[in-house]
Amino acid sequence: MGNYRFILSGGGTGGHIYPAIAIANELKKRYPDARFLFVGAKGRMEMEKVPQAGYEIKGLWITGLQRKLSLKNLMFPVKLIQSLIKAGNIVAEFKPHVAIGTGGFASGPVLQVASRKGIPCVLQEQNSFAGITNKLLAKKAEKICVAYDGMEKFFPADKVVKTGNPVRESLIREAGSKQEAAAYFNLEAERTTLVVLGGSLGSKRINELLADNLGLIEELGIQLVWQCGKGYYETYKDLGTEHIKVYDFLNRMDLAYAMADMIISRAGAGAVSELSLVGKPVILIPSPHVAEDHQTKNAQAMVDKDAAIMLRESELDSRFEAVFRKLASSPEDRHRLGNNIRKMAMPDATRRIADEIEKLLPTAI
């Protein structure tokens, strides 16, 4: 009983990978005998992060379509055809009962071939603005699990279910104490700690901001956990000290959240969902480089409920210092923001998505 097979595909950035891992973990809890296969894009983050989470992954040779004319674009049709063939073989061999797509280009070929073979497909869209892959796949999906109202403007209304974004349970349930986190980061448990998150790939502008403000942070007696991103690590790693810990990527986000008295973060959908669950005061600095400026919309939704502070990149030079000083010196502000953001959490998201997937499973196997 319950020997189901699930294929999951999504990736390119953590924002697409971790929801897929959270969904797989929930299904595994319900069906310990089930088998899981992830499909990602060769060379991208998922090829490393999915095996770390204990799942098998196969890689397709695919990239996104660039907006401008480039050699990469000329190769796109070749890569797409090759990926469709490979995805076809993977699906034919694995024979999943359900295919789950969490966005990002690798999920395109996989869900396309799965739906053509009559395998029920479920999509999960993290953002308030639908990604191109999910939009293309929407017609073929049985259900589309979303986190924001109004997603019917992108997807067929009868397929949309508002569930919220799945968050890895380890970030919430197993959240360690500040003591444990301090030992892990080699910092002092009693000292105020700022955690800086640049999104799964790191943020150039947030890194520059931090580098310019290390004097201020030191003056305020604050210690720092700084996730700068893999591509920026060489530039910033030497700034680490007894009170400043620089990371390319944080593998223990649970401990980073446990350590934080305040957070500076990009406003990716996953970051915002996690921050709501952990209920920490945050200054959101949305990336202006994403489709339809959706991170600003994610951040604005929090600001509207007095649940976070937002600073646009264009305001950093003029406002960051004053805003940061005020937050650092006001336990009341931190407490209020932390409480308000916690009210935005949707802690049942993963379970509700798994419920939707369950409805599509054959009853007897």
Ligand X SMILES: CC(=O)N[C@H]1[C@@H](OP(=O)(O)OP(=O)(O)OC[C@H]2O[C@@H](n3ccc(=O)[nH]c3=O)[C@H](O)[C@@H]2O)O[C@H](CO)[C@@H](O)[C@@H]1O
Please enumerate, by residue number, every residue annotated as part of a binding site for UDP-N-acetyl-alpha-D-glucosamine: 13-15, 127, 168, 200, 295
Of 2-10, 109-117, 213-221, 263-271, the segment contacting ligand X by CB under 6 A is: 263-271
**Site track for ligand X across 209-228, x = CB under 6 A:** ------------------x-
**Taking the complex as a whole, how short is the minimal distance between the CB of residue 288 and ligand X, in angstroms?**
10
Alpha-carbon gap, residue 13 to 26, rounded angstroms = 21
362 burial level (CB within 10 Å; 0-12, 13-18, 19+): exposed
Among candidate residues 201, 213, 276, the one with its CA nearest the CA of residue 244: 213
Is 18 near ligand X (CB under 6 A)? Answer: yes
Is 127 near ligand X (CB under 6 A)? Answer: yes
Name which position in 63, 83, 124, 126 contacts ligand X (CB under 6 A): 126
Of 68-76, 197-205, 276-284, 352-360, the segment contacting ligand X by CB under 6 A is: 197-205
How many residues make contact with ligand X (CB under 6 A)? 25
Q: What is the largest CA-CA distance in the chain?
A: 65
Is 354 near ligand X (CB under 6 A)? Answer: no
In the annotated binding site, the residues are 13-15, 127, 168, 200, 295
Q: Which is nearer to ligand X, 25 or 287 (CB)?
A: 287
Among candidate residues 88, 105, 92, 76, the one with its CA nearest the CA of residue 17: 105
**Taking the complex as a whole, how short is the minimal distance between the CB of residue 127 and ligand X, in angstroms?**
5
**Site track for ligand X across 269-308, x = CB under 6 A:** xxx--x------------x--x---xx-------------
Cα 40 to chain centroid distance, Å, stands at: 15
Q: Which is nearer to ligand X, 4 or 18 (CB)?
A: 18
Q: Which is nearer to ligand X, 86 or 254 (CB)?
A: 254
Is 250 near ligand X (CB under 6 A)? Answer: yes
Alpha-carbon gap, residue 314 to 151, rounded angstroms = 29
Of 55-63, 194-202, 218-226, 352-360, the segment contacting ligand X by CB under 6 A is: 194-202
Of 196-204, 238-246, 316-324, 325-333, the segment contacting ligand X by CB under 6 A is: 196-204
Is 134 near ligand X (CB under 6 A)? Answer: no
65 burial level (CB within 10 Å; 0-12, 13-18, 19+): exposed
**Residue 227 phi/psi, 5° resolution?**
-90, 105
Q: Which is nearer to ligand X, 63 or 295 (CB)?
A: 295
Binding site for ligand X (CB under 6 A): 13-16, 18, 103, 126-127, 197, 199-200, 227, 249-250, 253, 266, 268-271, 274, 287, 290, 294-295
